[in-house]
Amino acid sequence: MNNQMPENDSGSEPPLVNLCSYCRPLVDDLEGYLKIFDTGETYIRLRDPPKDFISSSREGCNLCQAFVLGLLYNRSNHSQQLLNKLYKNGSSSEFGYYNCLRKQQMDGFEDTFYAQREMYDGDQSVYSEVWFFRRKSTSVVALEVSTASQSSLSFATELLERCRSSHPKCQSPDALITPTRLIELYEGGCRLRTDVVVGTPYTTLSHCWGSIDILKLRKDNINELHDFPLSKLSKTFQDAVFLSRSLGFKYIWIDSVCIIQDNVDDWRRESAKMSQVYGNSSLNIAATYAKDGSIGLFVDRDPSSMKNQCIITPEKKIFEFAASGGYERCIADAPLSSRAWTFQERYLARRTLHFSGEQIFWECREITACEALPDGIPNSMIRYQDQFPSTANPAEWCQVVPNGVLLFKGGEVDSSHR
């Protein structure tokens, strides 16, 4: 991986963030708060935040923007009404506040804590968290404009190697099996095989079938699929083939091509083996963002929006900060997660590589990581990993502006400070 982290105490300084008159003193006093944490305290009550941090975020405070972003992923039922009211008012000035810092140790990070802004109205409350951390390791992937770029593929390759070589919980199951059918991949084409040796590594694909026509194995085309060109495959299937080959795999299992779709007996027999097929897969490729086969795995993105923002304390300590909710936005709320079937596939597989609408995420039995945090996303930052997504649609709430910041709709976006 390329080492492009902002350096501590020397060298090039990270880009400065814009802070409002409430958030600036928080950063200026941070070293003092850290000393309190050093005495064993884990909680510090702060003075009230600006009465309208929605306005602060519109006016360009990057920290208030992170709090707004964090709010969108607070999904307890009793908070929904309050969020709706906030959305309707376009202002937070009439709510009460409770504001604090909490220490939370996280593996792989130093000086980790989060700031919480809790907003209440009568007996309803909603809170938002922004995490601050310093990494022990300075390795980050240099993010490029496409998730099909070399840097994204390197992220996938390195995580796969690390997981295979040093994650005890992610090793092969004791009972190795090979699916009844596998698609063999060769330069320019594919072959449907039924004679692959047990234990041969293969990938699987989790995807939304959608409403477009995708290649399906049927009683009348079995012979045709003994050898067929890549062009027969949908965009998502072609991308999964490209990725599998790039990562060194020669076989892939795709449900629509490896189970005879118009043969009830075959379908029953093969779908009963799902847990083994996914459990034995060396890597599950999830077309998380694709609502159907025409979308593919890869997306173009603004790499600057993927980077965590940084604050510098008066003593020149650099902290990155991020709102919780990135995982929820990219995975839990994505089209693939709305299907119970594919949700199950993720849990059967030892390792899943998610192709989201922003970046690639890695999920295995030991870590969850993404391109922006390749050494792992702290568990406490992920709230909804084990739940089905809510029906809330954050896209109705907000818009993404440069630097990946989401603002409430209706607010003027002023990016002149960036």
CA 259 and chain centroid, separation:
30
118-to-52, 78, 79, 129, 137 alpha-carbon distances in Å: 13, 13, 11, 9, 32
* Closer of 26 and 225 to Zn ion (Cβ): 26
Q: By rule CB under 5 A, what count of residues binds Zn ion?
A: 11
Q: Does 66 bind Zn ion (CB under 5 A)?
A: no
Task: Give the residue, chosen from 27, 34, 61, 192, that forms a contact with Zn ion under the rule CB under 5 A.
Answer: 61
163 in Cβ contact with 364 (< 8 Å): yes
d(CA 293, CA 316): 49
Stretch of 26-34, 50-58, 88-96, 298-306 contacting Zn ion, by CB under 5 A: 50-58
* Closer of 101 and 192 to Zn ion (Cβ): 101
* Closer of 234 and 282 to Zn ion (Cβ): 282
Task: Give the residue, chosen from 55, 56, 116, 342, that forms a contact with Zn ion under the rule CB under 5 A.
Answer: 56
Stretch of 10-18, 51-59, 148-156, 223-231 contacting Zn ion, by CB under 5 A: 51-59
Residue 158 is classified by DSSP as H
Shortest Cβ 229–Zn ion spacing (Å): 35
Shortest Cβ 172–Zn ion spacing (Å): 12
For residue 77, give every residue at least 6 positions away whose Cβ sits within 8 Å of its Cβ, in sequence order, or none: none
d(CA 50, CA 48): 7
Q: Does 297 bind Zn ion (CB under 5 A)?
A: no
The torsion angles phi and psi of 53, rounded to 5 degrees, stand at -80, -10
180-to-13, 192, 274, 275, 376 alpha-carbon distances in Å: 56, 10, 11, 13, 35
Residue 418 is classified by DSSP as -
Per-residue contact flags (x/-) with Zn ion for residues 317 to 356, judged by CB under 5 A: ----------------------------------------
For residue 1, give every residue at least 6 positions away whose Cβ sits within 8 Å of its Cβ, in sequence order, or none: 139, 140, 141, 142, 154, 155, 158, 374
* Closer of 53 and 289 to Zn ion (Cβ): 53
* Closer of 202 and 321 to Zn ion (Cβ): 321
295 three-class SS: coil
Task: Give the residue, chosen from 366, 382, 390, 400, that forms a contact with Zn ion under the rule CB under 5 A.
Answer: 366
Shortest Cβ 271–Zn ion spacing (Å): 27
Task: Give the residue, chosen from 20, 259, 290, 334, that forms a contact with Zn ion under the rule CB under 5 A.
Answer: 20
d(CA 248, CA 280): 17
d(CA 105, CA 249): 38
Which of these, 317, 369, 331, lies nearest to 31 by C-alpha position? 317
Q: Does 364 bind Zn ion (CB under 5 A)?
A: yes
Shortest Cβ 200–Zn ion spacing (Å): 20
Per-residue contact flags (x/-) with Zn ion for residues 152 to 181, judged by CB under 5 A: -----------x---x--x-----------
Shortest Cβ 28–Zn ion spacing (Å): 13
Sign of CA dihedral 81, 113, 356, 69: positive
Task: Give the residue, chosen from 17, 26, 46, 63, that forms a contact with Zn ion under the rule CB under 5 A.
Answer: 63
Residues lying near Zn ion in the complex (CB under 5 A) are found at 20, 23, 56, 61, 63-64, 163, 167, 170, 364, 366
